[in-house]
Structure 1
Amino acid sequence: MTRSFGRTRPLPADVEMATASDAPSVGSTNRARSVGWRPGRSGSPWRALRLVTGFALLAVAATACDVPNFGFPTGVTDLTPRILNLWRGSAIAALSVGVFTWGLIFYAIIVFRKKSDELPRQVRYNLPVEILYTIVPLVIVAGLFYYTARDEVVIDKLPAKPDVTVNVIGFRWNWQFRYLDTGQNGTIPVEVTGQPGEPAVLVLPQGRTIRFIETSPDVIHSFWVPEFLFKRDVVPGRINQFQLTITKTGTFIGRCAELCGVDHDRMNFYVKVVPGDEYDRFIAERTRPAALSAAGATTQTSAGTTTRGSGQ
């Protein structure tokens, strides 16, 4: 016998001698205990607990209750159902794995807790268990990859001829939005440029397809409107695009979701979604020839005033 951290620990030779002495003894107490006692046998309370838990999960799954958003906003675009379902599925899969793992941990703590100083039966190389914890993670990862790739193809699709095209320019440390559908017939394109302490307001129509074309003259930014459930990086030297249709009116805050410098936290903007006729009036008021001839080569700011240059 040896001592380890103040406790008596049997040597391997002692274990072999005890095992050999138990083998021929039919009436031995240890022999009877090793044969008769098995955790998790039928009739044990743990089997009843597993059955109750399984029926409870089945009952919850069979109900028509709404699945929570797990922290996501409700969403205001045509892509909301697809993105929200992907997020919910990922969260449910992660919670299921977590609950199963916690259950195994507490099961081992309760069932295999120390009951005496007797060395328990030693087991190793459980091939079914090893196959199980290799196959199950592969199946989970493959499932998440499939649904993510399937939805990504739809989200990144760019149908031809959108109703509105906006050039999103992220610069240190503000935003500029150019309406690329304007500036025709000799008029100046409508631009909205944020100023220090005056975030840009991007006015968009409800129910029309909108394409965002992103560029940056300096560092990486990220165009993010939480209610869109979507964000995309604005990368220097690269043009990123995405397209969606906004289904609800309202004013929503937008942020830069990529750490871009000292004033990154102030790089906010607003998206004001209005009905289609109000959006048409907004564009028409800023492209009237009389207004342009009086103001000269100017751009519109978020407050509706005019300022020279792009604000950069």
Structure 2
Amino acid sequence: MSWIAECLSRVTRPMRLRLRRTVTTLSLTTLALTVLPPSVLAVEYNMPVGVTAVSREIHSLHMIIFWICVVIGIVVFGVMGYAMIKHRKSRGAVSASFHENTRIEILWTAIPLLILVVMAVPATATLKDMYDASESALDVKITGHQWRWQYEYLGEDVAFTSSLATPREQINNTAAKGEHYLLEVDNPLVLPIHRKVRFLTTSADVIHSWWVPDFGVKKDAIPGFINEAWTRIETPGTYRGQCTELCGKDHGFMPVVVEALPEAEFDEWLIARKAEAEAALNDAGRDWSLEELMEKGEKTYATICASCHQPDGQGMPPAFPSLVGSAIVTQDMQAHIDIVVNGKAGTPMAAFADVLSPVELAAVITYERNAWGNDTGELVQPAVIKEQLSQ
């Protein structure tokens, strides 16, 4: 131990203090890891096992690779530590002099190659299962928008958008944050358990990424491309995820929520949702009062528009102009309809023709023309929007 004493004698007092703090921190950490139960450690520091066969395969593969890396680390650093202690200069050790040792070169090439082969076999099997999206019982098209998801059940005439439901008061730190802060939505994606569901992901603007860790699914949504993924959920429940691509200033406000229902309950939900969609089409054909449109428009604006134009309509110029007293909002009705329906090229203003229903479009336009003191008294009927969308 004389070499340790010799090294410590050369360490300055500040360095000794830092070393002592480091040792204390490591000791406390080790004690905490010893006391905490394994279940807590797994939740806090490991990836979830998940509720699908693929997610369990991914977790098993992760643990295999992890323990291989642990063994490699122990062997490599163990040999290094042994060499530094056993063959240190203070004991009179002299470094060996050799060159082009063929046996050693073959050994340090063959061993890593063998390790890679051992890792590649289970990884290939897992990747093969992850990419097999054939023979699905239900197809769901997922379209990313800044900053919400649009879900379409292909062949079922059911589609809706899913937006962040966390109150703005929590985001602005004027109210206590809820249990699922920034991980709650107004319309979750509803799926059946025990059925193979294929996801077709794309984007209407920038690159997004749809991720639910409990499913073992993470797939990029790229404009102009369709990417495939699939899942078969085994346990009913609510599962949460997020967009994992940096898709803009509100990237953190784009959560994913999936409700997995037993098959019979899902079938009932789908029938009810179809009836709602049919009722919405009928609503687009009737005349709405200003009060009705204002009430619905306020809710639509808070969900869709407030993140950019602010709840009070003041916006964030120059990117997101104020709607209070705006010429386009208070004067030309058709220009107002065009920019909401079709967006504006070269600006952050997106098109909402494929995001909102005719009733929602009419309501939010009416609301903007009569809120925050604009008070134009004008309204637009959903039938007018529906007719323009069909042209």
Select the structure that is richer in strand. Answer: 1
Please give the residue correspondences for 1:273-292 in structure 2 after superposition, counting only pairs within 5 Å. Answer: 273-288=260-275, 291-292=279-280
Partner of 2:155: 181
3-state DSSP of counterpart to 1:167: strand
Give the C-alpha shift of residue 192 in structure 1.
3.4
Partner amino acid, structure 1, of 2:229:
F
3-state DSSP of counterpart to 2:241: strand
1:74–1:121 distance in 2 versus 1, CA, 3 Å: closer
1:276–1:127 distance in 2 versus 1, CA, 3 Å: same
Please give the residue correspondences for 1:190-209 in structure 2 after superposition, counting only pairs within 5 Å. Answer: 190-194=159-163, 197=166, 199=185, 200-209=187-196
Give the C-alpha shift of residue 114 in structure 1.
2.1
3-state DSSP of counterpart to 2:89: coil
Q: Residues 164 and 254 of structure 2 are in contact (CA less than 8 Å); yes or no, is this contact kept in structure 1?
A: no
Partner of 1:42: none
Work out the CA distance in 2 between the residues paired with 1:141 and 1:147: 11
Alignment partner of 2:258 out of 267, 271, 290: 271
1:235 aligns with 2:222: yes
Partner amino acid, structure 2, of 1:295:
D
1:196–1:251 distance in 2 versus 1, CA, 3 Å: closer
Q: Percent identity?
A: 31
Q: Residues 190 and 283 of structure 1 are in contact (CA less than 8 Å); yes or no, is this contact kept in structure 2?
A: no
3-state DSSP of counterpart to 1:124: coil
Alignment partner of 1:246 out of 216, 220, 233: 233
Partner amino acid, structure 2, of 1:192:
T
Partner amino acid, structure 2, of 1:156:
Y
1:151 aligns with 2:138: no
1:202–1:153 distance in 2 versus 1, CA, 3 Å: same
3-state DSSP of counterpart to 1:158: coil
The runs of at least 4 consecutive aligned structure 1 residues that moved more than 3 Å come to 195-198, 292-297, 306-312
Mark the runs of 5 or more structure 2 residues left unpaired by the alignment.
Answer: 1-41, 167-183, 286-298, 305-351, 357-391
Partner of 2:361: none
Partner of 1:75: 50
Q: Residues 221 and 233 of structure 1 are in contact (CA less than 8 Å); yes or no, is this contact kept in structure 2?
A: yes
Give the C-alpha shift of residue 227 in structure 1.
0.8
Alignment partner of 1:85 out of 39, 60, 63: 60
TM-score by length of 2: 0.54
Report which stretch shifted further, 276-285 or 124-133. 124-133
3-state DSSP of counterpart to 2:206: coil
Alignment partner of 1:225 out of 212, 224, 228: 212
Mark the runs of 5 or more structure 1 residues left unpaired by the alignment.
Answer: 1-67, 184-188, 298-302
Work out the CA distance in 1 between the residues paired with 2:93 and 2:88: 12
Alignment partner of 2:140 out of 166, 170, 176: 166
Alignment partner of 2:103 out of 128, 131, 135: 128
Partner amino acid, structure 1, of 2:71:
S
Partner of 1:215: 202
Q: Residues 148 and 161 of structure 2 are in contact (CA less than 8 Å); yes or no, is this contact kept in structure 1?
A: no
Please give the residue correspondences for 1:102-121 in structure 2 after superposition, counting only pairs within 5 Å. Answer: 102-116=77-91, 118=92, 120=94
1:217–1:107 distance in 2 versus 1, CA, 3 Å: same
1:122–1:77 distance in 2 versus 1, CA, 3 Å: closer
3-state DSSP of counterpart to 2:150: strand
Number of residue pairs matched by the alignment:
232
Work out the CA distance in 1 between the residues paired with 2:267 and 2:353: 25
- Deviation per CA, 1:249-283, whole angstroms, max 9, x where unpaired? 11111111111221111111211111111111211
TM-score by length of 1: 0.67
Q: Residues 190 and 287 of structure 1 are in contact (CA less than 8 Å); yes or no, is this contact kept in structure 2?
A: no
Partner amino acid, structure 2, of 1:256:
C
Give the C-alpha shift of residue 293 in structure 1.
4.8
1:119–1:277 distance in 2 versus 1, CA, 3 Å: closer
Report which stretch shifted further, 128-137 or 208-217. 128-137
- Deviation per CA, 1:88-122, whole angstroms, max 9, x where unpaired? 11111111111111111211121112225x57153
Q: Residues 196 and 230 of structure 2 are in contact (CA less than 8 Å); yes or no, is this contact kept in structure 1?
A: yes
Work out the CA distance in 1 between the residues paired with 2:66 and 2:165: 39
Partner amino acid, structure 2, of 1:194:
S
Q: Of the two structures, which has the highest relative contact order with CA contacts closer than 8 Å and spacing of 6 or more?
A: 1
Give the C-alpha shift of residue 147 in structure 1.
2.7
- Deviation per CA, 1:162-198, whole angstroms, max 9, x where unpaired? 2221111112111111111312xxxxx3323325747
Work out the CA distance in 1 between the residues paired with 2:281 and 2:95: 93
Work out the CA distance in 1 between the residues paired with 2:283 and 2:239: 30
Alignment partner of 1:295 out of 276, 279, 283: 283
